[in-house]
Structure 1
Amino acid sequence: MQEYYFFLRLTHEQCLAYYEGGVEFIQVVEDGGKRIRFPAAHIRRFVSSIGVSGRFRLQLDDSNKFITLEKVA
């Protein structure tokens, strides 16, 4: 299993682009400097009226398949 930590901040307007179908993937740079791309659908439960903001942990299996995305702070 692999874990990646990163900070994500998206405005309400940026989140609207996802809901309108304009954004399919989120790309972040994790703490170690590696670029990670994952389906935007995984942030849906973290979207509030102001958007998304916080520190997250992404867990992938050994085949790089999604396990979970958690907000850690």
Structure 2
Amino acid sequence: MKSILVDLHISADKYILMYQGVAQNVFAHALDGRSVQFPAKILKPFLLKDGVKGRFRITFDDQGKYKGIDKIK
């Protein structure tokens, strides 16, 4: 499986707006410089009162289909 690493710092208020549909996708730059886009809903398990913060590994298959996400830092 392929993966990509992203550092995220999303406030709780901003995440709630994304999750409610104002902007349903997160746009970020991976640590290797690639631009990535993924659904905000995959971050829900990591939402704390101060938002979503940390380094995450997003895994996907050879066709680019999402397989999972893990917080690594």
Shorter-chain TM-score above 0.5: yes
Q: For residues 70 and 50 of structure 1, what CA distance do their matches in structure 2 show? A: 19
Residue matched to 2:8: 8
Q: Deviations over 1:6-58 (max 9, x none)?
A: 10000111112023321210111111100011111101111111100000001
What TM-score, normalized by structure 2, do the two folds share?
0.92
Give, in angstroms, the shift of residue 3 of structure 1. Answer: 0.9
Q: For residues 43 and 54 of structure 2, what CA distance do their matches in structure 1 show? A: 11
Residue matched to 1:53: 53
User: Which deviates the most, 18-27 or 48-57?
Assistant: 18-27
Structure 2: state its 5+ residue gaps.
Answer: none
Q: Is the 8 A contact 2:9 2:54 kept in 1?
A: yes
Where 1:5 maps in the other structure, the secondary structure is: strand
Equivalence map 1:5-44=2 (5 Å): 5-44=5-44
Q: For residues 18 and 47 of structure 1, what CA distance do their matches in structure 2 show? A: 12
Number of aligned residue pairs: give it: 73
What is the aligned-residue identity percentage? Answer: 26
Q: For residues 58 and 19 of structure 1, what CA distance do their matches in structure 2 show? A: 18
Q: For residues 41 and 19 of structure 1, what CA distance do their matches in structure 2 show? A: 6
